[in-house]
Amino acid sequence: MARLEGCVSGADLLVVQGGINDIAQGRSVDDAAANLLAMVRRGKELGLRVVIVDLLPWNNGWPDAEPKIRRLNALIAARTPIARDVCTPSGPQTATIRLSWATVGSAKSPLGWRTTARRRRRRLRARRRLAEKARRGDG
């Protein structure tokens, strides 16, 4: 949170995704969710468009981290509609990510990041179309 303002200098969009370090270091899932949502609030205060996405599976944390990841994702999804933020699932909620998408089991490879970005763009476009239809009254 302390680095947020320096990182968003000149940006118009803030994508918040995180929490894996909190889980890996044994911190509270509730605290991780609160920190992520504080970043969303601060981004909005700074006048940025904000998107929050859920946490990806963590291959090297399997199986112990899976329940915590699912709980953090559930907390993000439950709290963001109230704050009128966009919450977009990063992908299928499986226990691990495809090995072809990973580098050393924990981190995504360039292919994994490109694939995830394409999926997120498609989901965001679909959500925007639905929101536009609802605003026009024909959805």
The structural domains of the chain, ordered by start, are 4-136 (3.40.50.1110)
Contacts of 112 (CB under 8 A, 6+ apart): 97, 98, 100, 101, 102
Tell me what the mean pLDDT of segment 97-112 comes to: 52
Output the pTM of the full model.
0.61
pLDDT tens per residue across span 9-62: 888 888 888 778 888 899 999 999 999 889 988 998 999 888 888 787 777 788
Within the chain, residue ranges assigned H as helices are: 4-7, 20-24, 29-45, 66-79, 110-136
**What angle (nearest 5°) sits at the alpha carbon of residue 40, between those of residues 133 and 89?**
55
Q: Which pLDDT belongs to residue 67?
A: 92
| Contact assessment for residue 30 and residue 16, using Cβ atoms and an 8 Å cutoff | no
Tell me what the mean pLDDT of segment 81-98 comes to: 47
- Identify the band that residue 139 occupies on the pLDDT scale cut at 50, 70 and 90: low
